[in-house]
Amino acid sequence: MRIVILDGHTVNPGDLSWKPLEELADLEVYERTAEEDIIPRCKGAEMVLTNKVILDAQVLNMLPRLQYIGVLATGYNVVDLEVASRQNIVVTNIPAYSTESVAQMVFSHLLNIVNRTDHYAQENRRGRWCQSADFCYLDHNLFELNNKQMGIVGLGHTGMATARIAQGFGMNVLAYTSKDEEELPEGVHKVSLDDLFSSCDIVSLHCPLTESTRHMVDKRLLSTMKPTSILINTGRGPLVNDDDLADALNSGIIAAYGADVLTTEPAPVDNPLLKAKNCYLTPHIAWATREARQRLIDQCVRNVKAFIEGEPINQVNK
């Protein structure tokens, strides 16, 4: 059998090994694949692995030998599942491989905002500390996380991990979740979305992107937040309305926004959040720690092996 990896670079830029896959089948790895190269590269392959390359109906209809698609991510919207199922193509994903890494990024953003770590490091590179009249200098209000109230929207794997870390900082945790109150960890309390946004000092987004959650954080919801509040988004970019959020930041309706995701990625130059006041963006790298990427590859190998053995796991189009 033949396996084609269409966009292996982000998952493995060279610090990890594809050898376990090579031991299962003939393997071809492409760092990136342009749209016009998808069909020629996949032609004749029984198995295709993709991270962000889209396998839509037009592509799938041109690949009659294809039996298996392994999505190298948790989200699988890059594959037309209806067509894949109709053509008896098994589609799998990689669940929960980056939980701890993404939760860690939540607090990387949060600590940078509350302690202004990057600001002071950059100022010192320019020699400001060397010129200080005192042993320290302070030009931003810093504050402790202890006893602050953190709201978490969505209590899946990453939301739960974020709640656990928040409690470790001594924070009070509220959650907007479909889970029943009795299912929640000790010290985490269920509230409505409006109550969460209006009462919390920090809000962190971890819910899936659906039609009901797209642009959930809009002008109305932002207007209910405290002017000192911080919004963190390591979930999905379109959970927020970019224009409304940029306006809220620039007008001081909320204090800061830290995010690892945008509505469109890579970021278009005209996205208003790129230049919004107190907006801190990282380029969708929360998932990409070496440990998380190794877990992804390990699970990918297990998925492929299970398919070859006739007992697929992590199938998303049963």
* 147's tokens: 């006893």
The DSSP symbol for 314 reads S
Q: What is the DSSP letter of 280?
A: E
Site of tokens 């000092």: 201
Please answer whether residues 254 and 280 qualify as being in contact, where contact means their C-beta atoms are separated by less than 8 angstroms.
Answer: no
- Burial bucket for residue 111 (CB in 10 Å: 0-12, 13-18, 19+): middle
Determine how many CB atoms are found less than 10 A away from the CB of residue 155: 24
Q: Annotated catalytic, 206?
A: no
Q: Which of 265, 291, 309, 311 is catalytic?
A: 265
**Contact between residue 166 and residue 188 where contact means Cβ atoms under 8 Å apart:** no
Q: Is 284 part of the annotated catalytic residue set?
A: yes
Give me the sign of the Cα torsion angle 170, 175, 179, 182. Answer: positive
How is residue 263 written in tokens?
């509505």
Q: Kindly state the greatest CA–CA separation across the chain.
A: 73
Cα separations (Å) of 7 from 11, 29, 50?
8, 8, 6
Q: What is the 3-state secondary structure (H, E, C) of 72-110?
A: CCCCCCCECHHHHHHCCCEEECCCCCCHHHHHHHHHHHH
* Known catalytic residue at 189: no
Dihedral, CA of residue 103, residue 108, residue 75 and residue 99, to nearest 10 = -20
Of 236, 290, 309, 311, catalytic: 236
Spatial separation of the C-alpha atoms in residues 225 and 311, rounded to whole Å: 49
User: Could you list the active site residues?
Assistant: 236, 265, 284
